[in-house]
């Protein structure tokens, strides 16, 4: 599987823009997987992300803190 990452613009008709250099790599009938990530500056999202990250933290991991 090939992957390309770029920032797209949502066009007025609801379609996403694709840069020409990537568009040339895609055949007209080819299926692609699309993932949409929206920028979000919400502090609650950052707090949730941090809490989920530290949920997986164990006291055993402390040995890496002083590397």
Domain boundaries, the chain: 1-60
Question: Which region among 1-5, 18-22, 50-54, 58-62 has the lowest average model confidence (pLDDT)?
Answer: 58-62
Instruction: Give 41's pLDDT tier (boundaries 50, 70, 90).
Output: low
Picking from 18, 22, 20, the residue whose alpha carbon sits closest to that of residue 7 is: 18
Tell whether the model's pLDDT for residue 44 goes beyond 90: no
* Apex 7 CA angle, 9 and 53, nearest 5: 125
- 1 Cβ contact partners less than 8 Å away, ≥ 6 residues apart: none
Picking from 40, 35, 27, the residue whose alpha carbon sits closest to that of residue 3 is: 35
Instruction: Give 13's pLDDT tier (boundaries 50, 70, 90).
Output: very high
């Amino acid at each position: 599987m090939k992957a390309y990452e770029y920032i797209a613009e949502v066009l007025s008709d609801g379609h996403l823009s694709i840069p020409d250099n990537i568009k040339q790599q895609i055949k007209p009938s080819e299926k692609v997987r699309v993932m949409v990530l929206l920028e979000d500056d919400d502090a609650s999202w950052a707090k949730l992300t941090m809490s989920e990250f530290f949920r997986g933290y164990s006291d055993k991991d402390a040995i890496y803190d002083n590397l």
